Structure 1
Amino acid sequence: MEFIVDSVEETTKLGIMLGRLVMPGDIICLIGDLGTGKTHITKGIAKGLSIDDHITSPTFTIVNEYMGRLKLYHFDVYRVNDPDEIYAIGFDEYIFSDGVSVIEWSNYIEELIPDEHISVSLEKLPELGENFRRINIVAKGKRYDYIKEISL
């Protein structure tokens, strides 16, 4: 599915819709350049999971945990230089748990991502305006057929 959004609010709204639908054990991989809205999507997912905490990107800690309808594990692997760093924090235990894992910069650790996941790519569209983004959501695996219910 492809969405064209022109505000942080629309980006967050898309995340909220996704967060309302996710199920235990879901993995959401976020891919996009700096400033494309990965953390805003994550904030929306958190809201959709009824998480009221202030969501920040865990750039230096690699993972933040939040509790809502389901536990949210928010990863930022931008600074990860070696997959062993991810294994050292118990990555498999997080992503194969009953929580929801959101992984920013997942393309940096592609070899560690299970085949079944939700891929969300974000891209700036400067030709349309400063705040415009193209957001593509792709379900990879049958378990994620439910995301067809997302619309703006």
Structure 2
Amino acid sequence: MRTEHLTKSPSQTKELAKELAKKLLKSKPKNQALVLALEGELGGGKTTFLQGFAKSLGIKQRILSPTFVILKKFQVPGNRFQYFYHLDCYRIEKPKEILDLNFKEIISDPQNIVAIEWADKIKKILPKETMFLKFEFIDKNKRKILIVER
């Protein structure tokens, strides 16, 4: 299923993320992690989206793009998911680099939600059921967000 959204402000982008998070929290459990692959240019709204998404999961910490550390892990309170992993593949040159961070173990655990910025860099190692979110910069505040669910 493909849905296209136009947000006109960072707060609308966060609100869209909250709606998606609520929907996914109600979804039927799978035998692997819930994986979100975010693609788009620098300044496209990926991190802003994940700030709203994480807040809806009950995560209190500030969400910043983990460009230099590549991976951050957050505890998810009070639902079937235990951890939210936020990855940023901007500096990744080869998918193997992400495998060295226990990526296969992380995405195989159904208690994890995994959000990957710059996911196009590791597309060939993502699970089949990955949800893709494509962010397009329209102007200073507007973003077109295409959500592709499998």
The TM-score with structure 1 as length reference comes to 0.86
Name the counterpart of 2:73.
65
User: 1:99 is matched with which residue: 112, 115, 118?
Assistant: 112
Q: Which runs of 5+ in 1 are unaligned?
A: 141-152
SS at match of 2:58: coil
**Partner SS for 1:123:** strand
Q: Who is 1:149 aligned against?
A: none
* Aligned residue in 1 for 2:23: 21
- Tell me whether 1:113 sits opposite 2:121 in the alignment: no
Structure 1 vs Structure 2 CA RMSD: 1.2
> Any conservation in 1 of the 2:87–2:117 contact (CA below 8 Å)?
yes
TM-score (norm 2): 0.87
Q: Secondary structure at the match of 1:22?
A: helix
Q: Deviation digits for residues 71-94 of structure 1, max 9, x if unmatched?
A: 100000010012221111100111
Structure 2: gaps spanning 5 or more residues: none
Whether contact under 8 Å (2:44, 2:137) holds in the other structure is: yes
**Identity fraction in percent:** 34
1:43 equivalent in alignment to 2:51? yes
1:138 aligns with 2:140: no
Listed one character per residue, the Cα deviations across residues 69-127 of structure 1 (whole Å, up to 9, x for unaligned) are 4310000001001222111110011111121000001011111111111110110113x
Give the letter for the 2:73 counterpart: E
Moved over 3 A (4+): none
Confirm or deny: 8 A CA contact 1:49 1:68 kept in the other structure.
yes
Secondary structure of the equivalent of 2:5? strand
